[in-house]
Amino acid sequence: MSLVLRERYDLSDCNTFGVRAVARWYAEAHDDAEVRQALLEAERLGVALQVLGGGSNIVLTRDQDALVLRMCSRGVRVQADDDERVLIEAEAGEPWHPFVQHCLAAGFSGLENLSLIPGTVGASPIQNVGAYGVEVKDVLHDLTALDRQTGELHVFRREDCAFAYRDSLFKRQPGRFLILRVRFALRRQGPLCLDYGPIRQRLAELGIEQPTAQDVSRVVCAIRSEKLPDPKVLGNAGSFFKNPLVDAAVADRLRAEHPSLVAYPQADGHVKLAAGWLIEQAGWKGYREGDVGVHHLQALVLVNHGQATGEQVIALARRIQGDIAQRFGVELEMEPNII
């Protein structure tokens, strides 16, 4: 295939917030050759290359004076299978949730807790996406990425990716590496992660005593659907703030002042606070100003009710950050990438 360039392209449908922004140039890459062609075209046109996946973890704050390249590569392949463990590879442009469902239908477990997360396979390691006790780092085997500085392909093993909470090498070096495909180490049978209380509760309510990976996926989908708005209906980027990690002394102080504090001790001695709880306690849940607001069911989610701009979204986020810092002495960090 040959790369097709479009000029003055509306990106409203390329980001789940539904924010309108116009790309000076736009193209879609379906394979490695088109990715390399896009790099050459950006150089020829004298503009930066801005890469998008599913657009589910970004906020566009202005028109993009760049060549915006959307990763649209497709393909899922089993590379190894010993009847116990499976190595499966997916192209970067594969939509994440359908990929998870494909694996579950084939009898592969490990991704079930990550069901119904928006976005693409290629974007998932950048943010080290996670939910309900599982992160991408727990199942990633390795990935192939293009080094945009040298033009060389590199294979990054899991330990090379410098994964942390909603963080990775690729997030800390934005724009350098372009992920082309990812390989996951899954299981045909194995222990399920049921540590998240609502999962166990929902399974019990359904009378499921020996759940399968597909049972867990269905429960996760139900919980997420109840808590998080569908971006196709109400523009959003999912959880907008990271759950802050604080010293145990800070958590003890807050618990003394707020006995209902939602907090999770970590293995390294820090304590993870529920950002949604902090925001809700501060009275932001359901807040709306014009077309930008905080979701009425989940305080961790900022939403676009129609015509909100990226600047308005960020302005509200900064107001919330300031209020939480003043009330609780805790700094909230935005989770989406601000472009």
Catalogue the active-site residues: 166, 239, 335
CA atoms of 120 and 249, how far apart (whole Å): 39
Query: Of how many residues is the chain composed?
Result: 339
Say if strands 130-131 and 134-135 run parallel, antiparallel, or are unpaired.
antiparallel
Q: What are the start-end ranges of the H helices in 49-109?
A: 96-105
Structure tokens at 139: 């199942």
Helices 213-227 and 197-205 pack at an angle, to 10 degrees, of 110
Say if strands 337-338 and 301-304 run parallel, antiparallel, or are unpaired.
unpaired
CA atoms of 286 and 172, how far apart (whole Å): 33
**Chain-centre distance of CA 162, in angstroms?**
17
CA atoms of 315 and 144, how far apart (whole Å): 36
Backbone angles phi, psi at 185, to 5 degrees: -100, 105
Backbone angles phi, psi at 42, to 5 degrees: -65, -40
Rounded to a whole number of angstroms, the CA Rg of the chain reads 21
Q: Are 282 and 309 in contact (CB under 8 A)?
A: no
Q: Enumerate the β-bridge partners of residue 173.
A: none
Q: Are 109 and 85 in contact (CB under 8 A)?
A: no
Q: Are 259 and 269 in contact (CB under 8 A)?
A: no
